Amino acid sequence: MGLGKKKEIQAQGETPALREVERFYPGAERGLTSAQAAELAANGYANTAVVSNAKTTGQIIRENTLTFFNLVFVVLAVLLVVAGQYKDMFFLVIALINSAIGIVQQLRSRATLEKLNLLAEGRVKVVRDGRLGTVAPHNMVREEVVELCAGDQIPADGPVLVGQVTVNEALITGEADPITKNPGDELLSGSFVVSGRCRARMDRVGAESYASRLALEAKADRGAVKSSMMKSLDRLIKVVGFALIPIGTALFCNEYIVLQHGFSASVSSMVGALIGMIPEGLYLLTSVALAVSVARLAGKKTLVHEMSAIETLARVDVLCVDKTGTITQPEMTVREVVPLDETRWDAGEIEEILNCYYSAADADNDTAKAMANRFNGPAKWRADKVIPFTSATKWSAVIFRDAGAFAVGAPEFILGSERGAVDAIAAPYREEGCRTLLLGRCSGIPGVGGLNGDVEPVALVVLDNPIRPEAKDTFAYFARQGVAIKVISGDIPETVSRVAQQAGIEGAERYIDAGYLKEGVDYAQAVRDYTVFGRVTPDQKQKLVKAIQREGHTVAMTGDGVNDVLALKDADCGIAMASGAEAACQVAELVLLNSDFSALPSVVEEGRRVINNIQRSAALYLVKNIMALFLALITAFAGFPYPFAPIQMTLISALTIGIPSFVLALEPNHELVRGSFMRNVLRRALPGGLSNIVLIVGIELFTVAFTFEKTTLTTLATAVMGFVGLLVLYYVSRPLDWKRWTLLGTMSAAMLISIVFLGAYFDLTRLDFQSWLVIVVFLLLAPSVIHVFELLFERCWHLVDEWFARRSKRKRRQIS
C-alpha cells in the first residue's frame, strides 16, 4: 500500500467512545495503573476487534432460512394451495428439515471454534503499576505500555518509548524491507517484530488502529472469503435462478393452453419441473459439510482461520517445510565447543566470552535459547551495544566496553570467501546433521549494515538438533499420497540435506545454496531440480513458494518463525505451529495448537475427505437438475406433457440424492483432489442427466405412439428416473464396500416399495402388460445408455485435459 493511502487511513476520525477520558501519557517503567486501565476499559477504550469471522445466531438462522430457493419454494407452495394440490407440498417439509440441520450444525461448529479460539488466543506483555504481566489482546487498553520482542505481532499503534526493534510491515504496507524503529518512531498494528526488544505505548487501539481500518476497508471491498467451490455453487444458483421464471412460464402455458390440462394439473406439472431444477440441498450440504469439517479439525486441536482452507488442503500437492521445528525438534542443545586457535583462545577464555555474550544478547530464537541455556555463567564485561540476529544477516554481535566486539552466526555469512579452513573443520559435524555457529572477534565496530572490518575466527559451537521420532512416518505418508516435499531452511544446505535424508524425504540428496539464486529463471529451474534449499532468507522463501505455484502446484507451507511469515501468507495454505511466533499464527490459515507436525496427515485427510465427498454428492444433485432443465425445455417447446408431479420428484430426490448424499458425505475418502470443482462434478453428472433425457423422451414418444394416459406416462418416467438415479448412485459410490452396498440396497428396496406398494400416495398408477413391457425395455436400456455417455464424456474430458496440459506447458515455458 502506498504512503498516500496510509496517511489517508490514519487521518480518519476516531471512533466515538462512551465517555471522553483524558490521556495519561504513562512512562516505560511504570505504565498505566490498574485503576487507569479499568477506567479506560469501562469507557470503551479497549483493543476490541472490529471485524469478526464468527457469525451471530441471527445471521446463521437468516442464512439457512431466508434464501432465494426457500423463497421460490414458498411461492410454489402458494400456487399449489391455490390449485388445491396439498399433497404435492411435501417438498416444504424437506426444505424445513434441511434448514434445521444447517442451523444446528453451524451453531455447534461455532461453539467448538469459540472454545478453541480462547485456547489459541495469544498474550500481550504489558506494564501496569510498574510490573510486567500479560493480558489477552482484546483486554489491552489505550496508552497501554507493551513490551515487544522478536516474533511478536504488534497489537495496536503507537510510539516506541525505549529500546530498538526491527519490524516488517509487508503484511500491511507491502514494503518487504525490514525497518528499524527507535524511540519516538511509530509502530503500526499488523506489522511484526523481526529482531530487538522495546517498550512502546499503544496510543490507538481497537477501531482506531491502522490494521482495524484496513480490515474494515477490506471487508467492505471484498466481502467474505469464499473458496472456488462455493463460488462455483454461487454461479450455478444464479444461472438456475434466472432460468426458473421463463421456463416455468413456458411450461404452464404449454400445459394449460396447448395441452389444455386444466389449471390444477398445469400448476402441479410446472411446480414438479421447477423443483427438479432446484439444487435445494446442494448448497446446504456443502455449507454444513465444511462447518462440520472445521469442527472435526478443532477436535484435532487444529484452528481454521479461513473455511476456504479446507478445499485448498484437499488440493495440496507440494508441502514446503522448515528443518527446525518440523523435521527436527524445536529444542537444541550445545554439543561441543571447538577452539580454532588454542594459542590465542583457550577453552576457558571462550567459555567466558560466550557467557558475557549471552548475558547481553536476547535469546529470541531457538538457537539463541540453546546457547543462552548453555552459556549462563557470570559476565565479567559490560555490553555497550547489541546488534540482534536477523534471518537476512544470519549473525548477531555484541560490542563490549572493555573487550571490543564479537559476532556469532553462520560461518559463511561472517567470514564470506575466507571461510575455507573453518568449513573443513565444520564439515564432519554437518555430515552428522549438526548445526555449527562461528564465534569471531571483530576488528571494526559492527552495525546494522554489516560487521565492518576483518573477523578473527575464535571457536565453532556445535549444536545437536535431533529429528522428531514421528518424522519418518509422516513424510512416508505424504510420499504415498503423491505430495512432494520441499525443505526450505536458513541452515547450511549440506546439513539440511543430511537431516532430510535421515527423515526419509525423497530426493533429499538434491540440494542447493539459495545464495546462488538471483533471477526469476533461477528459481523456476531450482524448484524443478532440487528438494532441499539451504541458506534461504525470508524473502527467498516467499519467492520459492511463488515459483512452485507458477509451476501449477497447490502449495502448503508450514512454519513457526518470524522468518516464515511472508511465505505463509503467500502459500495457498499456510500452516503455523502455535508454539512459534505470534505473527506466524496470525497470517496462517491453519494453526496446529499442539505444534505437532505428525498431526498434519490427519488434517490433510480431513480436507480431502470433505471435498471429495461434496464433489461426489454434488454429482447426484446435478443429475436431477440437468434432467429437469433440459426436459422442461423439450416438453415446453415440443408440446409434450411434463411427466412428473412435485410429490414424485420429492420421492426420487430423497432416495437417490438426499439421503445418499448425507451418508456419503461422512465416508472416508483421501484421494488428492485435482481440477476445478464444477468440472469434476459435471464430469460425473452429465452422463446420468443426459441418459435420463434420452430415456424419458423415449417414453414420451411411446406415450404418443400408444396413446398412454398421463398417469401411465408419470409412472413409467418415475420408475425409469428412479432406476437411473440408483445407477448413478452406484457409479459415484465406487469402490463399493459393505457400507455402500448397504446404502445402495436400502435405497433400491425403498424405491421398489414406494413404486409398487405405495404408488397411490405418490400419484402412480397400476401398469398393464403393455406398460410393463415398455418399462422393462427402458430399464434394460438404461445401463447401456449410461455406459455410452460415460465413454463419450471420458474421451471428451481426456481431450480437454490434454489441451489444458499443453497450454499450461506453453505458459510455463514462456515464464521461464
Instruction: Kindly list the catalytic residues.
Output: 322
Q: Give me the residue label for grid cell 455417455.
A: 789
Asked whether 630 and 243 are in contact (CB, 8 A), the reply is: no
Asked whether 560 and 581 are in contact (CB, 8 A), the reply is: yes
DSSP 8-class letter at 255 = I
Rounded distance between C-alpha atoms, residue 690 and residue 675, angstroms? 22
What cell numbers appear for 370 in the block? 540453546
For β-strands 186-187 and 302-304, DSSP reports them as unpaired
For β-strands 590-592 and 573-577, DSSP reports them as parallel
For β-strands 590-592 and 532-534, DSSP reports them as unpaired
- Which of these, 414, 399, 507, 487, lies nearest to 447 by C-alpha position? 399
> At a CB cut-off of 8 Å and minimum separation 6, what does 316 contact?
483, 554, 555, 556, 572, 573, 604, 607
Write the burial class of residue 10 (CB in 10 Å: 0-12 exposed, 13-18 middle, 19+ buried): middle
From the CB of residue 425, how many other CB atoms can be counted at a distance below 10 Å? 14
Q: Give me the residue label for grid cell 565479567.
A: 380
- Which of these, 227, 14, 195, 109, lies nearest to 673 by C-alpha position? 227
> At a CB cut-off of 8 Å and minimum separation 6, what does 249 contact?
none
Rounded distance between C-alpha atoms, residue 165 and residue 199, angstroms? 9
What cell numbers appear for 152 in the block? 511478536
Q: How many helices (H) and strands (E) does the chain have?
A: 28, 21
CA of residue 676 relative to chain centroid, distance: 16
From the CB of residue 261, how many other CB atoms can be counted at a distance below 10 Å? 18
Which CA distances in Å does 115 have to 299, 303, 583, 777?
A: 11, 10, 21, 59
SS3 content of the chain, % helix, strand, coil (to 5): 55, 15, 30
- Give phi and psi for 665, each to the nearest 5: -65, -20
DSSP 8-class letter at 689 = H
Residue 714: left (phi > 0), alpha (psi -120 to 50), or beta?
alpha
CA atoms within 13 A on the CB side of 72: 24
Rounded distance between C-alpha atoms, residue 189 and residue 169, angstroms? 9
Helix (H, G, I), strand (E, B) or coil at 437: strand
For β-strands 484-488 and 318-321, DSSP reports them as parallel
> At a CB cut-off of 8 Å and minimum separation 6, what does 255 contact?
261, 265, 266, 269, 270, 641, 642
- Give phi and psi for 487, each to the nearest 5: -95, 120
DSSP run (H or E) holding 635 = helix 600-638
- Give phi and psi for 615, each to the nearest 5: -60, -40
Q: Give me the residue label for grid cell 414418444.
A: 701
Rounded distance between C-alpha atoms, residue 721 and residue 476, angstroms? 46
- Which of these, 676, 747, 814, lies nearest to 232 by C-alpha position? 676
Asked whether 500 and 433 are in contact (CB, 8 A), the reply is: no
Rounded distance between C-alpha atoms, residue 484 and residue 486, angstroms? 7
Pure H helices in 227-365:
228-253, 263-277, 282-299, 308-315, 347-360
